[in-house]
Structure 1
Amino acid sequence: MPLIVLWDVDHTLIENSGVSKEIYAAAFAAATGLDAARPARTEGRTDRLILAEMFRDHEVNAPEWETVNRALTAAGAAREGDLSRRGRVLPGAREALVAVAAEPAMVSSVLTGNIYANARVKLRAFGLDTLVDMGCGAYGADATDRAALVDIARHRARTAYGLPAHTPVVLIGDTPRDVRAALDSDAHVVAVASGIHGADELREAGATVVLPDLLDGPALMRHLRTLAPSTV
């Protein structure tokens, strides 16, 4: 049986070292003409929700989404160099992506709150973008609610690869929102305590498989193969 593997980006695959907050502040300023007095609240939110909350927190009318999207895209493109200098790939992430990409029956893609352009920037800054099929992922422009992204990515992957309707999906991420998104959309989840949320918090959110990081690639692959038995 094939398996769709969806990776979160920030704090699961990479550490952005504050560059994300700078992208949101710059996009807010470009879209409104105002400097942000409060930083963006991220922690698994989608870009649509992050910017909507920033506009609300600053008591300004939200611009049209296309204006916001253009501002986010420009802000992300302008900071790719900063990201590559200041950020880093998290331990084991590259090796885990390579291992999943090598499994013929696994489709490896992305589920992230970032818009597509900025997800590509973040992965490309560290040479990770070629290890996933970004075309069948789901991104922050696709929906406000993270759980909705799982169904979007599921549909895109099934369509792109001609997969059966019952193909299982597993989401690998670091926040309670990742866990809830998976559970609310009938997907499996592997929680990774590589961000600000500890293992206990991720378990409380409903994750039954929680890893401290992605360093134990063989253990991760053994678990993924149990979700796709034909790949054993």
Structure 2
Amino acid sequence: MDSQPVPPAPTVGFDLDMTLIDTRPGIHAAFTALAAETGAHIDADLAVTRLGPPLEHELAHWFPDDQIHAMRDRYREIYAFHAIEPSVPLPGAREAVAAVRELGGRAIVVTAKNEPDAELHLERLGIETDAVIGRLWAEGKAEALRAHDARVYVGDHIGDVRGAHTARALSVAVPTGPCTADELREAGADVVLDNLRAFPGWLRGYLAGAAPAGRGQG
């Protein structure tokens, strides 16, 4: 008996920092440059261990409230010159995005990062997506996920899990960022994969109805 055809992939959203791209070297360089320019003490080594939330959250550790917006704008001016070149794709990132599109779905990036910088990263690394939406964090990411009818959202942070669930999308998590696999499961991730190398196989199994889609599965 012939096997049933696999349905096309849905729209899948991906986070950027520490999900698709290891931006730690670039962000470290940008914060180091900002510290040198302003004379402020910024522990760039510490800053890159807690990527995920909006830039303003990190700047609040190093600048008084009345300087944060100005420092945010200056950081973004610096970013393109210091952060794009050193950043690299995480293992399986290109293949994960390509798998969605090869299986008939749309791949979008929904990130807290400034949208033009996210686009620069993806262009330089040759990761082709169907849309990039920036400056959204945690539950706020649901706005873009709903607008693009994304049924799956892939991220590395518990904020990404919250965003997926707010949008009523399946939360697929990878512990490649600041959150451990246990933390992602405890936050309610529906699927936890070791890294994005496992994503194409999981997606094919999910579409065929064979891959685990229950909470906490790996």
Query: Take 1:139 and 1:50, find their aligned partners in 2: how far apart are those partners?
Result: 17
One-letter amino acid matched to 2:181? A
State the match for 1:206 in structure 2: 188
Q: CA deviation at 1:197?
A: 2.4
Greater alpha carbon shift after TM alignment, 3-12 vs 67-76? 67-76
1:90 Cα offset (Å): 1.6
Q: Secondary structure, in 3 states, of the residue corresponding to 2:66?
A: coil
Aligned residues: 198
- Separation in 1, partners of 2:12, 2:208: 11
Residue aligning to 1:35: 40
Specify the alignment match of 2:110 in structure 1. Answer: 111
Match of 1:223 in 2: 206
Q: Distance in 1 between matches of 2:30 and 2:146?
A: 28
Structure 1 unaligned blocks of 5 or more: 158-166, 227-232
Query: TM-score normalised to the size of structure 1?
Result: 0.72
Give the TM-score of the pair, scaled to structure 2. Answer: 0.76
Partner Cα separation in structure 2 for residue 209 and residue 192 of structure 1: 9
Over 3 Å counting, the alpha-carbon distance change for 1:102 and 1:27 in structure 2 is: farther
Give the Cα separation in 1 of the matches to 2:75 and 2:130.
22
- Cα 1:91–1:168 change in 2 (3 A) is closer
1:110 partner SS: strand
Alignment of 1:1-232 (within 5 A): 3-26=10-33, 33-39=38-44, 40=47, 42-51=50-59, 53-54=60-61, 57-62=62-67, 64=69, 67-68=70-71, 70-80=73-83, 82-83=85-86, 87-104=87-104, 106-128=105-127, 131-134=128-131, 137-140=132-135, 143=136, 145-155=137-147, 157=148, 167-216=149-198, 217-223=200-206
Question: Contact 2:13–2:109 at 8 Å: present in 1 too?
Answer: yes
Aligned-pair distance for 1:79? 2.0
Q: Is the 8 A contact 1:76 1:121 kept in 2?
A: no
**Structure 2 unpaired stretches of 5+:** 1-7, 210-218
Distance in 1, Cα, partners of 2:181 & 2:172: 11
Residue identity over aligned pairs, in percent, reads 28
Alpha-carbon spacing, 1:222–1:24, altered in 2? closer, same or farther (3 Å): farther
Any idea what the Cα deviations from partners look like across 1:89-116, whole Å, max 9, x if unmatched?
2221111111112233x22110112111
Structure 1 counterpart SS, 2:108: strand
